[in-house]
Amino acid sequence: MSDLYRSALSARISKLPDLPPSNDDEEDDESEEAADSIGSLPGNEAVQVSVASRSLDCRVYYTPPAFADGTVMICHHGAGYSGLTFACFAKEIADMTKGKTTSTSEKPDEDLSIDILTADLIEVIQSVFPDPAIAPSLLLIGHSMGGSVVVRCCSILLGREYRVTGVAVLDVVEGSAVEALPHMHTLLNARPDGFSSIEDAIEWHVSTNTIRNAHSARVSVPSIIVPDPKGVLPYTWHTPLRSTAPYWMSWFKGLSSTFLQARTARLLVLAGTDRLDNELMIGQMQGKFQMAVVPGVGHMLQEDDPTRLAEIMVEFWRRNDRVIVGVKKVGDA
Q: Which of 120, 220, 299, 304 is catalytic?
A: 299
Active site residue 77: no
Active site residue 299: yes
Taking residue 212's Cβ as centre, other Cβ atoms within 10 Å add up to 18
Q: Classify 196 in phi/psi space as left (phi over 0), alpha (psi -120 to 50) or beta.
A: alpha
N- to C-terminal Cα distance for the chain? 47
Burial bucket for residue 58 (CB in 10 Å: 0-12, 13-18, 19+):
buried
Full strand arrangement of the beta sheet holding 194-195: 194-195, 235-237, 225-227
Residue of 258, 252, 246 whose CA lies nearest to 275: 252
The answer to whether 290 touches 313, Cβ cutoff 8 Å, is no
CA distances from 131 to 50, 136, 166, 291, 305 (A): 17, 10, 19, 32, 35
Taking residue 168's Cβ as centre, other Cβ atoms within 10 Å add up to 27
CA distances from 187 to 210, 224, 301 (A): 12, 18, 19
Active site residue 243: no
Q: Which of 37, 82, 127, 144 is catalytic?
A: 144
Alpha helices in 208-305 (DSSP H): 214-220, 248-252, 255-261, 278-285, 301-304
Burial bucket for residue 318 (CB in 10 Å: 0-12, 13-18, 19+):
exposed
Taking residue 156's Cβ as centre, other Cβ atoms within 10 Å add up to 15
Q: Which of 36, 120, 171, 200 is catalytic?
A: 171
Distance CA 218, CA 195 (A): 15
Name the phi and psi angles at 169, rounded to 5.
-110, 130
Continuous segment of H or E residues that includes residue 316: helix 306-320
Which residues are catalytically annotated? 144, 171, 299
